[in-house]
């Protein structure tokens, strides 16, 4: 299967082909340039997740400028919660964007309202560590529980951590 075989197919087929080229799944070798072509074709047909896939591909391959561009496109096109969370993470970590925990928080809030589990982890972190206001362990636990319900691994780890700390407070009574 090569690029020429995909002419005239659907956005989903282009997206799936991009994923296959990126992972080397059906093709004997990974071909990132072909993956980009397929994802871009899917985007041209309105496939929002292809924007996120492009962003992640660029991010993993050391191109934060293009990663940010595609996350922003997805966030603006459909207010995509995953893309908004990724932009928040870029602000939070200072990757490509100037570190700004206030803007990061805004992104995480918007994404949380849309049900994004990764955003719940970050909001829990803000509450636990008191990044913008006084630490609030109950609020942190609430966010971590929400994220855990959506199988966000870091939220589940935080819940386990908090429960272990709580056991330590009471000892073996």
Ordered by start, the domain boundaries in the chain are: 1-78, 80-173
Does this model's pTM top 0.85?
no
CATH classification for the domain delimited by 1-78, as one of 1.25.40, 3.40.190, 2.40.50, 3.30.70: 1.25.40
Q: Which residue has the tokens 């994923």?
A: 19
Positive or negative torsion for Cα 105, 109, 112, 116:
negative
Q: Which superfamily, per CATH, for 80-173? A: Tetratricopeptide repeat domain (1.25.40.10)
- Quote the percentage of the chain above a pLDDT of 90: 72
pLDDT confidence tier of residue 4, bands split at 50, 70 and 90: very low
Tens-place pLDDT, residues 67-83: 999 999 999 888 889 99
Query: How far is the CA of 57 from the CAs of 31, 141, 158, in angstroms?
Result: 12, 32, 28
Work out the average pLDDT over 59-71. 93
Q: Could you tell me if 69 and 46 are in contact, meaning their C-beta atoms sit under 8 angstroms apart? A: no
Whether residue 137 is predicted with pLDDT greater than 60 in this model: the reply is yes
Burial of 4 (0-12, 13-18, 19+ CB in 10 A): exposed
CB 97 within 8 A of CB 90: yes
User: Do 1-78 and 80-173 share a fold?
Assistant: yes
């Amino acid at each position: 299967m090569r690029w020429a075989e995909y002419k005239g197919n659907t956005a989903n087929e282009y997206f799936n082909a991009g994923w296959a080229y990126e992972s080397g799944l059906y093709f004997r070798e990974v071909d990132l340039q072909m993956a980009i072509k397929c994802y871009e074709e899917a985007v041209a047909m309105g496939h929002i997740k292809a924007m996120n896939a492009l962003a992640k591909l660029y991010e993993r391959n050391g191109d934060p400028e293009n990663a940010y561009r595609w996350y922003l496109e997805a966030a603006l096109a459909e207010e995509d919660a995953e893309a908004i969370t990724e932009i928040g993470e870029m602000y939070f970590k200072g990757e490509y964007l100037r570190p700004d925990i206030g803007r990061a928080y805004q992104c995480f809030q918007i994404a949380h309202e849309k049900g994004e589990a990764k955003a719940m982890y970050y909001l829990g972190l803000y509450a636990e560590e008191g990044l913008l206001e006084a630490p609030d362990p109950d609020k942190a636990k609430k966010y971590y529980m929400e994220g855990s319900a959506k199988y966000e691994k870091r939220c589940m780890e935080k819940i386990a951590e908090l429960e272990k700390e709580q056991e330590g407070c009471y000892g073996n009574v």
